[in-house]
């Protein structure tokens, strides 16, 4: 399939690289691919970034039949552009598509399209330390129809955003509120898919946590409200008595690429890492016994985000004196080092855009 390119004739001024924040600025172009039942995916194009024209009855607006992904491109010191494990994201896009009954995309073609788009907007990739180009592929159901059914038309779009740190705290620890009232997802539901509904379900609890001066919510399982699942848009890891523990993938947790990378790095370092059920009581007991050494979240946006404090039903658990622990720092330095080309990629994780 050919990709047509229409250049933006009025490019925007680039934002200040030292104050990018997250997801606030968008580049001059976007990739668009249409789907029509009977015809498949068609009309691949790179066009100027701008508003979409959608029918007000477009199904995505009413029933949320859509999926998204998030990954990053980095500019290396010697000027190359690297993607980090993009095939994993495209594979996951199709796992989400299957759950939402959206037709699969061709993962190889999607990677080619992504590379083409990045090349067109390459001068938008920031170079300041800690910055990168965030990539947001997404698919939306576009049938103008108010009945509930799978749409027969879709759009697959990729937009790009130069970003700095996800949390204003950077690698500094964030305070986390353990939510024991609202739940995010249940097994059999859509928790393992990256789909808008999961985030709609999470916003109220996040606002509540913010009001209590916490940065994010730690979710417990939706059935027993007992087992730790994940944080906002991050998977979670705890260092308990020298062993690293992360909740096992159970159908309601998103299988993060950063989670998988962290597990593989820890294994390669000979650190004991266990994927299993972990209850909040067990964590609290470990904390009381002085055995909770570190806690951190993993996700593309923040990469590693240490947790400096947990609040579970008013029980405050400070972790590592509210400071970034050695393992959190080592994982952060290694993953961001590989992503930005500063550390040799012995894992074969990076893909060059050229």
**Binding site residues, ligand PLP, CB under 6 A:** 70, 194, 230, 233-235, 254, 256-259, 298-300
- Please, what is the minimum distance in Å from the beta carbon of residue 308 to ligand PLP? 20
Q: b/e per residue, 214-253, with b = 16+ CB within 10 A?
A: bbbbbbbbbeeeebbbbbbbbbbbbbbeeebbbbeeeebb
The CA-atom distances, in angstroms, between 39 and each of 42, 227, 270 are: 7, 45, 50
Nearer to ligand PLP, 89 or 151 (CB): 89
Whose Cβ is closer to ligand PLP: residue 35's or residue 191's? 191
Query: Are 354 and 76 spatial neighbours (Cβ–Cβ below 8 Å)?
Result: no
What six digits make up the tokens of 153?
């038309």
Q: In the bound complex, what is the minimum distance in angstroms from residue 331's beta carbon to ligand PLP?
A: 12
Q: Which of 133, 195, 193 is nearest to 162 (CA)?
A: 133
Q: Considering beta carbons, is residue 262 or 324 the nearer one to ligand PLP? A: 262
Beta bridge partners of 60: none
Closest distance of CB 235 from ligand PLP, Å? 5
The number of angstroms, rounded, from the C-alpha of 100 to the middle of its chain's C-alpha atoms is: 18
List the one residue out of 103, 68, 353 whose CA is nearest residue 196. Answer: 68
Nearest to ligand PLP of 323, 345 (CB atom): 345
The vertex-91 CA angle with 90 and 96, nearest 5°, equals 90
Cβ of residue 310: shortest distance to ligand PLP, in angstroms? 18
Residue 67, CB-side half-sphere exposure with 13 Å CA sphere: 26
Q: Nearest distance from residue 142's CB to ligand PLP, in Å?
A: 23
| CB burial string 11-36: b at 16+ within 10 A, e below | eeeebeeeebebeebbbbbbbbbbbe
In the complex with ligand PLP, which residue's Cβ is closer, 96 or 287? 96
Report, in Å, the least distance between residue 189 CB and ligand PLP: 13
User: In the bound complex, what is the minimum distance in angstroms from residue 255's beta carbon to ligand PLP?
Assistant: 8
- Using the minimum distance from each CB to ligand PLP, give the nearer residue, 86 or 308: 86
Minimum CB separation of residue 230 from ligand PLP in Å reads: 5
Q: Which is nearer to ligand PLP, 206 or 233 (CB)?
A: 233
Closest to ligand PLP by CB, 73 vs 120, is: 73
Q: Taking the alpha carbons of 354, 15, 22, 264 in that order, is the dihedral positive or negative? A: positive
Both tokens assigned to 318: 């400070």
Answer whether 162's CB lies under 8 Å from 130's CB: no
């Amino acid at each position: 399939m050919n990709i047509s390119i229409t250049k933006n004739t009025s490019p925007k001024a680039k934002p200040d690289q030292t104050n990018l924040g997250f997801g606030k600025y968008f580049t001059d172009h976007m990739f668009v691919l249409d789907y029509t039942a009977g015809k498949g995916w068609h009309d691949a194009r790179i066009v100027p970034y701008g508003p979409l024209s959608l029918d007000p009855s477009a199904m995505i607006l009413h029933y949320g039949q859509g999926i998204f992904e998030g990954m990053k491109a980095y500019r290396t010191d010697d000027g190359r552009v690297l993607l980090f494990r993009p095939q994993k994201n495209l594979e996951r896009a199709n796992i989400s598509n299957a759950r939402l009954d959206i037709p699969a995309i061709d993962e190889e073609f999607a990677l080619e399209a992504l590379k083409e788009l990045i090349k067109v907007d390459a001068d938008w990739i920031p170079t300041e330390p800690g910055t990168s180009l965030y990539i947001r592929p997404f698919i939306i159901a576009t049938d103008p129809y108010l009945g509930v059914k799978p749409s027969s038309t879709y759009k697959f779009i990729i937009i790009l955003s130069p970003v700095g740190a996800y949390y204003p705290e950077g690698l500094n620890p964030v305070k986390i509120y353990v939510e024991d009232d609202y739940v995010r997802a249940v097994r059999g539901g859509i928790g393992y898919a990256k789909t808008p509904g999961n985030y709609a379900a999470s916003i109220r609890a996040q606002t509540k946590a913010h009001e209590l001066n916490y940065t994010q919510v730690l979710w417990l399982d939706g059935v027993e409200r007992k087992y730790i699942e994940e944080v906002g848009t991050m998977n979670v890891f705890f260092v308990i008595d020298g062993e690293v523990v992360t909740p096992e993938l159970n159908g309601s947790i998103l299988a993060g690429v950063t989670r998988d990378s962290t597990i593989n790095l820890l294994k390669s370092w000979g650190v004991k890492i266990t994927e299993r059920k972990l209850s909040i009581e067990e964590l609290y007991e470990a904390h009381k016994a002085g055995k909770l050494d570190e806690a951190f979240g993993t996700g593309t946006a923040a990469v590693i985000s240490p947790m400096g404090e947990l609040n579970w039903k008013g029980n405050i658990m400070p972790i590592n004196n509210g400071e970034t622990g050695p393992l959190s720092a080592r994982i952060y330095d290694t993953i961001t080092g590989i992503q930005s080309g500063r550390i040799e990629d012995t894992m074969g994780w990076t893909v060059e855009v050229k």
